[in-house]
Structure 1
Amino acid sequence: MEWYSLLPPLVAVAVVLWKKEVILALLLAILTSEVLLAETGASMIFHGAVGTFERIVSIFGSAGNTRILLFSLIIGAVLAFMRHSGGVTAMVEYVISKGLGKNRRQAAFMANFTGMAIFIESNLSVLTAGIVSRGLFDRYKMSRATLAYIIDSSAAPICILVLLNGWGAFVLGLLSNYEFEQSAAEIMWGTVLLNFYPIIALMMVWYTAYTGNLHGPLARSKFSEEHDITRKHEFKPTKARFMLVPLLTMVLGMIMFMFWTGDGTLANGSGSKSVLYATVSACLIAYIMMLFSRKFTHHQLVKIGFDGMSELLPLVAIVLLSLTLGASLKVLGTGIYVAQIIGDSLPLFLIAPMLFLAGAFIAFSTGTSWGTFAILIPIGVPLIQTLGLPPSFIIAAILGGGVFGDHCSPISDTTAVSAIASGCELLEHVKTQLPYALFGGALTVILYMVYGLAFL
């Protein structure tokens, strides 16, 4: 292995720092890898460019990868049906009408619960939680920065812990490209209890909601009388079942199909098949419910579905290029080279903390966890295989680092959506959430070091 095998991930990181553009960074990283794999000579750039397109095409040769890409599109249609049906806004109105927010503590826990309940997509989660809770926070003169912190630190952590969503399917797709003694699904489920940062983040939210104690800049954030506490909905409320039934179909369907594809054993199930089948089932249920409501025609629903898919095309592009980069780096041997360097120079107990911090740096720079997983998992897996490290432990450190960096990043989409949904200034949200995230990140590094010393 040669030092130049490090160039593709370095190119990815450099481009995202420079241009703040994840798709361009991944594409140039793939091109760099393919140029290095091409035969030397005057035509190596040409062969590298051709190899880049061929590598992208080869991703569709894997049925698992294709299912993940299809899921990433179809989930856009499901989310669009939930919104356009008025189910999301109806759920918001129902919660508020029941008076489930009689004091500051209940208002804070409602924001937290709503942020956790809709774990299929983090942005939908924070949008719904923000809409539900803004009026209550204004009623009790709680700052919008507090609301932004609660919903942001509830949504992403629960998404990476539950994993019955796009994040889980994506991670399964990346892990399925490698050979392990355990199944990719077993490794992924094993990360839950070892993914310390999101667990700590949720515990800090619960502490804040229960005690009402605020620290750092968040304690100095002020309630503004200028907030308009009227609830402005994108779509007219109808019935909450238009959101709840497809959501339950997806969650229960995921579990059922995991048992089915695993011949009765959840851990042996196919994650890519299960998430796709569950999402298609939810999409079909949502379509039938809206059609039978007689408020939508077939043609309207088709347009709504495809519009929802188009909103997620940038995400699908990131997923496709992430899978491509992982495949290219595997051939180039980047991960094995890094594993050899680390194995010779770094104590085993420091590997997980270093991967956690590397993931945090990349996610902070890119504003997205997906690209972080794509860059680091192909590096982390050879470390697992070469040094005999516990797979779930190392993968958990990478996943947690992505979420930690995402929480600290001002260019993260979830950070921005949390600020918008809560009616808080973006920079104020970043400034007030950062001390909590840094405290959780520092505690996580210590826990990974202790765990490594105890069990490696």
Structure 2
Amino acid sequence: MVSGIEAGWMSVVPALVAISLAWSTRDAQIGLFIGVVVAGMVYGALNPASVGVPADLITAGPEILEVAPQGDGDPWSVGLGGVLLGFVFGLKAVPEIIATAPLFGPWYVENVLLAIFAIGGMIGLMIRSGAIQGVLEALSERVDDAADAEKAAFLAGIAVHIDDYFNCLVVGSMMRPLTDRFNVSRAKLAYYVDSAGSPAARLAFYSTWGAAMVGFIGGGLENAASRGSLPAGMSEFVVDGEAVTGAIWPLFFNTLFTGFYSWVALGLAALVAWQIAPNFLEMGEEESRARAGEGVIGEDADPMISEEMDSYQVYEGANPNWVNFAVPILTMIVVGLGAMFWRASPVVYVVGKSGTELLALGSWQLILPPTGPWSFNIGGVRLGVASISALALAFIMYRLQGNVPSLKDGTDATLVGFKGILLAAVILMFASSIQNAVSLLGIGAFITETFGDIPAFIVPVAVFATTSFVSFSDGSSWSTYGIMFPIAIPLAFATGANLPLVLGAVFSGGIFGDHTSPISDTTVLASSTSGSDHMVHVRSQIPYALISAGVAALLFLVLGLVLPESFRVIPY
């Protein structure tokens, strides 16, 4: 059974291999698959005992490295023979790395995998029943040209910003027929979908993200307290070794102002949509070809949507109506958000400072003393339940209307949708496996050792750059936050850097990777629902992301110089 080790610089090798191959081959599946294989082989080379190398062979030959486990435990020495055999035997670890990836955990299965297929099936039904055709006809009355279509795509993403997965799954599917009609490239649509995904969801403090971010900050404060670096003035933030959730919320609200990458990325996307900022490099090539009527994707492109689904036809007896699109989507929104206020949801209890706090990431309950107690719950957006409810409603509604001629036709349409979204699920599986691998190899310890004492004014920009590197390497903002907050918060206390600015740097760096990495789940979803070639989307989006990151880095550097340690927007 695989367990965490501290692999040093080799912890980033699998992600770098995956990203490099995906970039050079223009095939995300190949890059990700080989990256997972490399992860298993690196793990086996460093920990040959765990992959079945006999004990007497592990130390065979000259000793070439010493490996320590994550957490407590004695390090072990590995000889040349052990490394070579472990490298080969490490293939045995690959299935376990995949099987234990976050994507196969209960939350991900319910809220990502099931949601992907349910929404894919619903898209198939919407195409067949004329629901999407109805949306296209309704929007066409208000959209006169490609510029209007781009604005509509950007605004749709902003409107559906409650959750990044929800945004990516819905907006691309909804807007693709409209942008296709006006010859807007699929890469441009994917850029709008992706830019209004994680960057906007990060600012939605009333969603799943808000409670989760408070939890991540709490973990960092607990780590600082365990190291003895928590300032005396913040002693109420950690009691008996556990973070006090109620005290952390004001600290989190400060980061809404210092999450510079989200604000800049959204602002730049708006400038592009309103034709103020130009189409850079590959985006310019994609848009020039599309505007010339030569296709919204290139001839050699590999769009992340099946050709069968992309060319699926409306039933000739259907009555196209935008209402048939709106009802299932609204159902999904109501059910998904309704879970946030359902008392049966797992909660984080937030009470007065003299009360007891219990932490359960993904939701929270607030009890307001002294005139109450009043209470309400905000739970996680349950995409699985919401999307399956919407799929069932759509199937029944379209069949009763006669827009789907038979049960068999409706089932076939649903299956077309399932097949159309399958590629995204495969890439997500491998992307999640890479994320799992770099965590097992101890990327957090590597970052901690690499960055030692640095001046306080450099801390925010250094934390932003480091977090960006980690999130680009592992493709996940949330896993990066789990790595970086326990590092960045004690670092801020130790150096005297402004805490809200450092927290904003962590949040911003995590969003950068989530927004740009070819192994990011939301980047994959943006490509798939927009029908874009995944690597074309990644390459065409990178210049905009780098501009946003550059502006954010400059802000972190300048404000790191001018803001005193005590500065905060909201008192805490």
* TM-score > 0.5, shorter chain as reference: yes
Q: Deviations over 1:182-228 (max 9, x none)?
A: 88xx8999976654334323323434555757477789987998538
Equivalent residue, structure 1, for 2:110: 67
**CA apart distance, 1:394:** 1.3
CA deviation profile, 1:397-416 (whole Å, cap 9, x unmatched): 2222332456xxxx988579
Is contact 2:332-2:389 (8 Å) kept? yes
Asked if 1:201 is matched to 2:265, the reply is yes
Distance 1:94 1:383 in 2: 51
1:396 matched to 2:406? The reply is no
**2:550 aligned with 1:442, yes or no?**
yes
Structure 1 Cα separation of the partners of residues 430 and 280 of structure 2: 39
Q: What is the rounded CA distance, in whole Å, between the counterparts of 1:19 and 1:272 in structure 2? A: 33
2:443 pairs with 1:334: yes
More strand per residue: 2
Correspondent of 1:9 among 8, 12, 19? 12
Question: Higher helix share goes to which structure?
Answer: 1
Equivalent in the alignment of 1:53: 95
Q: Structure 1 pair 6/176, CA: closer, same or farther in 2 (3 Å)?
A: farther
**Cα 1:104–1:157 shift into 2, 3 Å:** closer
Once the two structures are superposed, what CA deviation does each residue of 1:360-419 show, in whole Å capped at 9, x if it has no partner? Answer: 865xxxxxxx8354874564355247646766651432222332456xxxx988579879
1:255 lines up with 2:337 in the alignment: yes
Separation in 1, partners of 2:213, 2:108: 9
For structure 1, the 5+ residue unaligned runs are 138-143, 363-369
Segment drifting more, 268-277 vs 209-218: 209-218
> Cα–Cα, structure 1 residues 325 and 133, in superposed 2: closer, same or farther, change >3 Å?
closer
Alignment of 1:359-398 (within 5 A): 362=473, 371=475, 373=477, 376-377=480-481, 379-384=483-488, 387=491, 393-398=505-510
Give the equivalent residue in structure 2 for 1:36: 46
Give the corresponding residue for 2:369.
none
Alignment map for 1:264-413 (pairs within 5 Å) = 267-268=363-364, 274-294=382-402, 295-344=404-453, 347-355=458-466, 357-358=468-469, 362=473, 371=475, 373=477, 376-377=480-481, 379-384=483-488, 387=491, 393-404=505-516
Q: Who is 2:122 aligned against?
A: 78
> Does the CA-based 8 Å contact 1:335-1:380 persist in structure 2?
yes
Aligned residues: 423
- Read off the aligned partner of 1:129 and give its amino acid letter: M
Q: 2:313 aligns with which of 235, 242, 256?
A: 235
C-alpha deviations, 1:329-362, integer Å up to 9, x for none? Answer: 4454331232232244684223333135426865
**Change in 2 beyond 3 A, CA 1:240/1:321:** same
Amino acid at match of 2:110: R
Higher mean C-alpha deviation, range 34-43 or range 71-80: 34-43
User: Conserved in 1, the CA contact under 8 Å of 2:463 and 2:488?
Assistant: no
Q: In the alignment, is the contact (CA less than 8 A) between 1:36 and 1:48 conserved in 2?
A: no
Decide whether the 8 Å contact of 1:116 with 1:154 is kept in 2: no
Equivalent residues of 1:339, 1:387 under 8 A apart: no
Instruction: Single out whichever of 60-69 and 332-341 deviates more from structure 2.
Output: 60-69
Report the Cα distance in structure 2 between the residues aligned to 1:244 and 1:435, rounded to whole angstroms: 35
In structure 2, what is the equivalent of residue 26 of structure 1?
36
Displacement of 1:4 in angstroms is 2.9
Whole-Å separation in 2 of the counterparts to 1:290 and 1:70: 21
Question: Quick check: 2:336–2:382 contact (8 Å CA) kept in 1?
Answer: yes
Asked which structure has the greater CA Rg, the reply is 2
CA gap of 1:7–1:103, structure 2 versus 1, over 3 A, is closer
1:70: how far off?
3.2
d(CA) in 1 for partners of 2:437, 2:463: 24
| Deviation of the 1:301 alpha carbon | 3.2
Contact 2:131 2:322 in 1 (8 A): yes
Q: In 2 relative to 1, CA 280–153 (structure 1 residues): closer, same or farther, beyond 3 Å? A: same
Counterparts in 2 of 1:223 and 1:15: CA distance versus 1, 3 Å: closer
